[in-house]
Amino acid sequence: MEKILEVNDLKISFHTFSGEVQAIRGVSFDLNKGETLAIVGESGSGKSVTTKSIMRLLPEQSSEFKSGEILFKGKDLTKLNDKQMQKIRGKDISMIFQDPMTSLNPTMTVGKQIMEPIIKHQKLSKSEAREKAVKLLDLVGIPNPEIRFKQYPHQFSGGMRQRVVIAIALACNPQILIADEPTTALDVTIQAQILELMKSLQKKVETSIIFITHDLGVVANVADRVAVMYGGKIIEVGTVDEIFYNPKHPYTWGLISSMPDLETEEEDELFAIPGTPPNLLNPPKGDAFAPRNQYAMKIDLEKEPPMFKVSDTHYAATWLLHPDAPKVEPPAAVQKRMKMYQEQHK
C-alpha cells in the first residue's frame, strides 16, 4: 500500500502562563492511500493538536514545534513557508471541524465560501467555480442547491451546515481529509447521515481520511485502522479488527469497557476509568497511564514502555507485552465485548 502521509516523532508544546505544556510527546503514524485512520482518545490527549499541526493551523504565538517531521508524499510540511503551505491547505489536505454552527463565516454566502478554494487552487473563472460549487452542494445532499448557494449560514440547520463544510473540504478533491470530530456536535440521526455521506464521498474522490473522535461506535463504523492516543502519545495502533477483537493496552481496555451497547441493561453501572488524565505541564516519568492503571507494574512508574509489536499492523506501548511480564488477561467486561464483536462479525 502506498503511504501518503508519514508523521515521525512529532513533538509540540504550548507556552502558557504556568509553563510549557508538552501536548504532543513523540507521535508517529502513517496514513495509506484511500484508507480511514481513526484517532481516538479522551479530551486533551492530543488528537486535535496532532492533526492541526499537520495543517500547520496551531496558533503561532503560543505553540512551538519542537521536533519531528510530517512527510506528505515525501515532502516535509514542517519545512515549507507560509505561501507553499497555503497551496497545500484546501487543495491536497483539507479539514472538517467539530462545530458546524461556528465554522462558517456568518457574513458570507455559502456559495462564496465554497467557491473560494476552487478559485484559489484550481484557477477556474468565477462562473465555472460557481457551477462547480452548485454541483458540490448537490453532491453533499443539499436540496435546491441553486437557491441555497445564495443563502447565508444562518439559514441552514446544523447538519446542513456540516454538509456545506464537507463540500468546502472536498471542493478540490483533496488527497487527505482531516475530520476533527465532525459529528460530535450533531444529533444521532444527522450523525449517521453525515458518516454515510463521508463514506460514499470517500469512494467517489478516493481520499484518505484521518478521523478524530472519542466515539468508539463511530470508529467501528468508519475506520480501517485505529490509533489510540493518551497523554500526547499514541499508545496503541492497529486495524479496526485488532483494536476491537484483540486490544492489548489497558487504556484501550478501559475505553472499550466504558462504551455502552445495546445489551447494556439500565441498572448496569457503566465502567469509568478511574483518575484524571496526566498533567502535561509535568509529564510523568514512566507510562503516562500508570497511575490510573490497575495492572501497572513497578517499571511502569519508572520507564516509558516502547512500542511492542503484536502483529505487522498492530503495536501497543505497554510493558505487559514484554516477554518477562506476567500474563494478564483483559478484564471480564472487555473479554465479553471482544467475544460479542467476534460473534457479530461472523
Nearer to other proteins, 174 or 231 (CB): 174
**Closest CB 177 distance from other proteins, rounded Å:** 11
Select the residue interacting with other proteins from 94, 191, 221, 239 (CB under 8 A): 94
Is 87 one of the binding residues for other proteins (CB under 8 A)?
Answer: yes
CB of 187 to other proteins, least distance (A): 19
DSSP 232-252: TEEEEEEEHHHHHHS--SHHH
Angle at 101 between CA 49 and CA 103, to 5 degrees: 45
86 vs 246, beta carbon nearer other proteins: 86
Asked if 89 interacts with other proteins (CB under 8 A), we say: yes
User: Is 82 one of the binding residues for other proteins (CB under 8 A)?
Assistant: yes
CB atoms within 10 A of CB 168: 25
Query: What is the residue type of 174?
Result: P
Q: Round to whole Å and give the CA distance between 159 and 294.
A: 41
Provide the mask over 119-158, with x wherever binding to other proteins is found by CB under 8 A and - wherever it is not.
-xx------------------------------x-x----
| Site for other proteins contains 117 (CB under 8 A) | yes
Residue 225 C-alpha cell reads as: 485502522
Maximal C-alpha separation, the chain: 68
> Contact with other proteins (CB under 8 A): which of 20, 99, 138, 215?
99
In sequence order, the β-bridge partners of residue 25 are 11
Beta bridge partners of 6: 30, 71
Is residue 227 within 8 A of residue 237, CB to CB? The reply is yes
Contacting range for other proteins; rule: CB under 8 A; set: 79-87, 238-246, 273-281, 306-314: 79-87
Find residue 296's DSSP bridge partners. Answer: none
Q: Which residues bind other proteins (CB under 8 A)?
A: 55, 57, 59, 61, 82, 86-91, 94-95, 97, 99, 102-108, 116-117, 120-121, 152, 154, 165, 168-169
